[in-house]
Structure 1
Amino acid sequence: MSKVIIIGAGGVANVVAKKCAQNDSVFTEVLIATRTVRKADAIVAEIHEHLPNSQTKFSTTTVDADNVPELVKVIREFGPEMVINVALPYQDLTIMDACLETGVHYLDTANYEPKDVAKFEYSWQWAYRERFEKAGLMALLGCGFDPGATQVFTAYHAKHHFKEIHYLDIVDCNNGDHGKAFATNFNPEINIREITANGRYWENGQWVETAPLEISQDIYYPKVATRKSFVLYHEELESLVINFPTIKRARFWMTFGEAYIKHLNVLEGIGMTSIEPIDFKGQQIAPIEFLKAVLPAPESLAANYTGQTCIGVQAKGLGKDGEDKVHFVYNVSDHAETYKEVQAQGVSYTTGVPAMIGAMLMLTGVWKRAGVYNVEEFDPDPFITAMNEWGLPVDELAGIELVK
């Protein structure tokens, strides 16, 4: 019996809202707050159409998530127990500030990054630990799939399979086809900034930096395909190597097709991926913001999307029996099936469902303590159980090394 605010109205917010509506015994009242209220209204209309028996009460409002006083006003007027932040990563800190001022719990799916610097790390949000502890509030960071479920998988490895994890590889494959020449599966600005940045991985107690997409290998994704995969830097590595100090090497891999990389190289070559503002007809605009405006919105890809996603975590190390071990925990989702269920493509679905699950565990007291936390700091079992219940079945593969 809880009231929550969802901030944002993109593809992930759409999934979070609809999964909250399915889980109406926990989420009794939901306010969707966003800069563009017509998008929130469209989500609510779809809920009424596709989930007419849900008892969850929905409403919408306008909010500027960059504006703390405006956020505080909306939160105080609605009186939620927590805020689910699925807005832009640039807005994490203002929303955390508003939660502290109003005394409500906080959850997001991506860590903070400054708008004018292509850099993301947890230090800005970890700096809030003492303030949330003193306020008796909880902030759960990065509770999507990657980050999010991938850290749960790592904690599950540690709890059930390993005395020590030595080598960790997180793999993310989208083997889908949306029929567009070039499009991104989530916010284009965030997606392109992430891919064009230098890669980074952890090895022997330090970070090793690479050129963008410099390291690759063919990886077999169970039930899906063998795909060329590239090393990127991804935020969950930062917390995992702290919380699992026996890790000697940790890497994150993602698949990209040749056509995608070719388009990206051309766009980068002509300066369209730059975050540096230029003067255009008397106005300042970053080329990447203009590019975002002309590319298809990620949520618009859903209706015609086919194929599957496969995201998992391979761990190698010392098993519970004292022997060397390799184990893989993963999920496979189908774009057409996720569209049938919640009118969303699989990338939005795999991010939105874990956000709902994390919020549910917080609201029901299963995961609940004051402070700022990453998901691997909690018992993974209730989260795994909920994934199986709420549309993200978890599979395991023992003894086969998929990533070299």
Structure 2
Amino acid sequence: MKKNILIIGAGGVGQVVAHKAAQHNDVLGDIHIASRTVEKCHRIIQSILEHKALKRPGILAAHALDATDISATRALIERTRAQIVINVGSAFLNMSILEACLETGAAYIDTAIHEDPDKVCESPPWYANHEWQRKQACKQRGVTAILGAGFDPGVVNAYAALAAERYFDAIESMDIIDVNAGSHGRYFATNFDPEINFREFTGTVWSWQQGQWTPNRMFEVSRQDDLPVVGNQTTYLTGHDELHSLSANLDVPNIRFWMGFGAHYINVFTVLNSLGLLSEKPVKTAEGLEVVPLKLVKAVLPDPASLAPTYEGKTWIGNLMRGSWNGTPREMLLYNICDHADCYRETGSQAISYTAGVPPVAAAMLVADGTWDAHRMVNVEELPPAPFLDLLGRMGLPTRVRLGDADMPLEDALGTDEERRTGS
């Protein structure tokens, strides 16, 4: 049984993680929040107290931390006696935090793939460039490291694993669809860290097609789907973290990621990119100042956490899978719908932060009770999916299943599947 968690990162996702951890501190124990800007941690603690989120009285503490400093991170883990570290800081921090966990034995959980600040869109599979190089070290030291335990990556990986395990003999195609059918009311903003957001879309779009990596340009390929509740949506083929582990761990020849964008976002993005304002490479101004254009754009855009109070509408994320079962073609849709306003009332964050922040807490709870305490490095699809999805449903992220003409809650589908498999 592992207890006491250290949350590194105090943005919108960090706020959700801290709120949800507080709601389950009977399982998780002491809660520590660390960030380079400790004032952000104090604001999250204040929000937890105002929402009366703590399930029972317990330690809730803030810490200043530069997580690029491995020795400082190691010292904080040891000082707080944290046995589980949830990394929801910048994607540039993964490897230094992972190393601190290796040195202390603490379990490590993150929600996104590591990025090198000087490289955009490295060669696939992306995990092999950084995290997977530490697999052997995790195994040798018995350290649990769960990679990509947000929603996408994360929950969608569990959807894939569940489908492969229970509903298909063979999956021919898997299309992961992510749509924000909501509005924040600002002229232009990104829903998470602008620097990370833009870096996803300025490089090559890699997808897994016919059993190999296939390159495209951003906004080159689109599709339309009539989705439950949110209706007809246009999405674009996009490179994304989960493709890089699912293609290695599941025998599926076609795995693609599609994200929804409005015409206004595409127009602004195109202008910024065409002007070179999304470059990660430094430039010099006429005054001799060195500036990274992407960081400047990030500085002038709204803080994603500030969007939450006025956000309206819903998010829709799911897996559309096609394949066969007992020689018969089958199509299955596993999905979640989340409401921005409901998330704000509960945690003070919008639905995009909520969908990213609840899953790592569920993962931490499964590590705490031993269900997911793997003592090695894994991606989410390598772990039992049903306990994770069941727990998420009870924590505010229920899954629905569309199979044939039926659309039902996941728990009903699993019951039907169990009855079908056992003949009861």
The counterpart of 1:367, out of the listed 367, 372, 388, is 372
Q: Distance in 2 between matches of 1:60 and 1:219?
A: 44
Name the structure 1 match of 2:114: 112
Question: Is the 2:157–2:380 contact (alpha carbons within 8 Å) kept by the matching residues of 1?
Answer: yes
Alignment of 1:98 with 2:100, yes or no, is: yes
CA-CA distance at 1:52 after TM superposition: 5.6
Name the structure 1 match of 2:233: 227
CA gap 1:163/1:307 in 2 versus in 1, 3 angstroms: same
Q: Distance in 2 between matches of 1:282 and 1:107?
A: 42
Instruction: State the secondary structure of the residue aligned to 1:166.
Output: strand
Name the structure 2 match of 1:296: 302
For residue 7 of structure 1, what is the amino acid of its counterpart? I
Cα deviation 1:68-105 (Å, max 9, x = unaligned):
11111211211110110001111100001111112211
Name the structure 1 match of 2:411: none
CA-CA distance at 1:219 after TM superposition: 1.5
Structure 1: which 5+ runs fail to align? Answer: none
Alignment of 1:87 with 2:89, yes or no, is: yes
For residue 368 of structure 2, what is the amino acid of its counterpart? L
CA-CA distance at 1:67 after TM superposition: 1.1
CA-CA distance at 1:283 after TM superposition: 4.1
Alignment of 1:140 with 2:142, yes or no, is: no
Alignment of 1:132-281 (within 5 A): 132-245=138-251, 247-280=252-285, 281=287
Aligned residues: 398
Question: Is the 1:108–1:140 contact (alpha carbons within 8 Å) kept by the matching residues of 2?
Answer: yes
Alignment of 1:43-82 (within 5 A): 43-51=44-52, 54-55=55-56, 56-82=58-84
Question: Is the 1:34–1:40 contact (alpha carbons within 8 Å) kept by the matching residues of 2?
Answer: yes
Cα deviation 1:207-250 (Å, max 9, x = unaligned):
110011100011122111211100001111111111112x1211
CA-CA distance at 1:282 after TM superposition: 4.4
CA-CA distance at 1:285 after TM superposition: 2.5
CA-CA distance at 1:49 after TM superposition: 0.8
Question: Is the 2:48–2:54 contact (alpha carbons within 8 Å) kept by the matching residues of 1?
Answer: no
Which has the larger displacement, 38-47 or 214-223?
A: 214-223
CA gap 1:92/1:219 in 2 versus in 1, 3 angstroms: same
RMSD (Å), alpha carbons = 1.2
CA-CA distance at 1:156 after TM superposition: 1.1
Cα deviation 1:336-393 (Å, max 9, x = unaligned):
1101111100000000000111111111101122211000001100011011100001
Question: Is the 2:206–2:215 contact (alpha carbons within 8 Å) kept by the matching residues of 1?
Answer: yes
Name the structure 1 match of 2:16: 15
Cα deviation 1:271-316 (Å, max 9, x = unaligned):
1111111124544321010111110011100000000000000111
Q: Distance in 1 between matches of 2:236 and 2:402?
A: 22
Which has the larger displacement, 52-61 or 71-80?
A: 52-61
Question: Is the 1:214–1:230 contact (alpha carbons within 8 Å) kept by the matching residues of 2?
Answer: yes
Question: Is the 2:107–2:144 contact (alpha carbons within 8 Å) kept by the matching residues of 1?
Answer: yes
Cα deviation 1:118-148 (Å, max 9, x = unaligned):
1251011011111111111110000000000
Question: Is the 2:17–2:358 contact (alpha carbons within 8 Å) kept by the matching residues of 1?
Answer: yes
Q: Distance in 2 between matches of 1:251 and 1:336?
A: 30
Identical aligned pairs, as a percentage?
38
Q: Distance in 1 between matches of 2:211 and 2:191?
A: 33
Q: Distance in 2 between matches of 1:282 and 1:66?
A: 28
Name the structure 1 match of 2:322: 316
For residue 365 of structure 1, what is the amino acid of its counterpart? G
Instruction: State the secondary structure of the residue aligned to 1:212.
Output: coil
Name the structure 2 match of 1:4: 5
Q: Deviating runs (4+, > 3 A) in structure 1?
A: 280-283
Instruction: State the secondary structure of the residue aligned to 1:128.
Output: helix
Structure 2: which 5+ runs fail to align? Answer: 406-424
Q: Distance in 1 between matches of 2:142 and 2:288?
A: 48
Question: Is the 2:25–2:54 contact (alpha carbons within 8 Å) kept by the matching residues of 1?
Answer: no
For residue 58 of structure 1, what is the amino acid of its counterpart? L
Instruction: State the secondary structure of the residue aligned to 2:26.
Output: coil
Cα deviation 1:22-54 (Å, max 9, x = unaligned):
112112211101000000000000111112653
CA gap 1:370/1:52 in 2 versus in 1, 3 angstroms: closer
The counterpart of 1:336, out of the listed 341, 344, 361, is 341
Structure-1-length-normalised TM-score: 0.96
Question: Is the 1:173–1:221 contact (alpha carbons within 8 Å) kept by the matching residues of 2?
Answer: no
Question: Is the 1:139–1:372 contact (alpha carbons within 8 Å) kept by the matching residues of 2?
Answer: yes
CA-CA distance at 1:196 after TM superposition: 2.2
Which has the larger displacement, 277-286 or 74-83?
A: 277-286
CA gap 1:282/1:78 in 2 versus in 1, 3 angstroms: farther
Name the structure 1 match of 2:356: 351
